[in-house]
Amino acid sequence: MKKIIAFIVLILLFLLKTEAQQTPPFSPFKGFHVGITAQVEAIGKPLFLALDNINPAPKGLWTCGWEAGMEFSYHFAKYFGISVGINYGTTVSYNCVIYQFKVIGQGDIIIPESFVPLYCLVDHEIMFPVKFEFHFPLRKNLFFAAETGIKIKGVGFLPKLSGGDDVFFSGGLSISFEYQDIFYKLKYFDYFGTRDVTKIRCEFLLGMGLYYKLRYGDLLRFTAGVNLSFKNIVEGTYSYHLSGSFGTFAVKNDFLYFQFAYIHTLNYQKAKKYLKKQGNLEGLQQGM
């Protein structure tokens, strides 16, 4: 019996020694990573509500935005990871077209009936996305990716920069005309909104895409998704001065995003040094 036990122990020791000498499996997602990200955004329309029906309410327009920053991630399981980023980019962007109508006044001055676009109002700030990630291999160097999380905005520095608790947004249109050799300029339309920058805000994000593993172990990521605000980011009023028509407007800043990221896999460098010492660097490249 003792001989059998001793024989089993020797076999186990031999197997453990053989396993220790084998090339450790390399996963590009294992451990800590650092990356750079860049994205473009298709930002949803602001909402205008007429409180007086003399003139139609302005029509909101889609606008565009961008973000760029750094990402720090840790993959704690085979298919899952978390990341924290610091980005700078568009936090508010909105525009509209307004209704330009006939003005009845001295001499029946007439402006053609049409919709006229205004200039886009934009603001930028630093923000912090926090995400939970899932990835799954599709092919040798290709992985499916999905992400969800929140984006934290308004972390206390904006009031100091703006000099108050609110950031103000205003825009408008004036008309000019000449009548009986006299030049007139009248304010035709304007809107005025405020944004409270004293509170930290969170937005929800959800996306999916693909990872591509480069030959030397780093990763490229392409994702598309949606970013949704939990409440309005800007609220205000608008008015047509010549007719007295007025209403309210609100901006949520919901958008679609398309992101590119380059991820440096710190784990690869450790694996490379280890295998170089073991004289088995080819094993790492074959595992890639």
> Mean pLDDT throughout 183-197?
82
Task: Domain count for the chain, please give it.
Answer: 1
**Residue range(s) defining the domain that contains residue 222:** 25-287
* pLDDT digit string, tens, across residues 50-102: 997 778 889 999 999 999 999 999 988 889 999 999 999 999 999 998 887 65
% of the chain beyond a pLDDT of 70: 70
Query: For the chain, what is the mean pLDDT?
Result: 79
Q: What is the pLDDT of residue 107?
A: 44
> Mean pLDDT throughout 96-113?
63
Pairwise CA distance, residues 36 & 28, whole Å: 17
Q: What is the pLDDT of residue 288?
A: 44
Q: What is the pLDDT of residue 159?
A: 46
% of the chain beyond a pLDDT of 90: 42
pTM of the model: 0.76
CATH number of 115's domain: 2.40.160.20
* pLDDT digit string, tens, across residues 115-139: 778 888 888 999 999 999 999 999 8
Instruction: Judge whether 254 lies within some domain.
Output: yes
Instruction: Judge whether 3 lies within some domain.
Output: no
What confidence category does residue 245 fall into, taking pLDDT thresholds of 50, 70 and 90?
confident
- Minimum mean pLDDT among 92-106, 211-225, 266-280: which range? 266-280
> Mean pLDDT throughout 34-51?
95
Closest CA to 131 of 116, 151, 101, 117: 151
266 CB neighbour count, 10 Å cutoff: 14
Residue 279, amino acid: G
Instruction: Judge whether 251 lies within some domain.
Output: yes
Instruction: Judge whether 264 lies within some domain.
Output: yes
Instruction: Judge whether 266 lies within some domain.
Output: yes
Instruction: Judge whether 249 lies within some domain.
Output: yes
Instruction: Judge whether 20 lies within some domain.
Output: no
Q: What angle do CA 23, 24, 27 make, to 5 degrees?
A: 125
- Identify the residue with better confidence: 271 or 174: 174
- Minimum mean pLDDT among 15-19, 45-49, 52-56, 196-200: which range? 15-19
Asked whether residue 200 carries a pLDDT value surpassing 80, the answer given is: yes
Asked whether residue 4 carries a pLDDT value surpassing 70, the answer given is: no
Q: What is the pLDDT of residue 48?
A: 93
Instruction: Judge whether 174 lies within some domain.
Output: yes
Residue pair 121/171 in contact (Cβ under 8 Å)? The answer is yes
Asked whether residue 256 carries a pLDDT value surpassing 90, the answer given is: yes
Q: Cα separations (Å) of 72 from 158, 200, 232, 235, 263?
A: 24, 22, 29, 34, 9
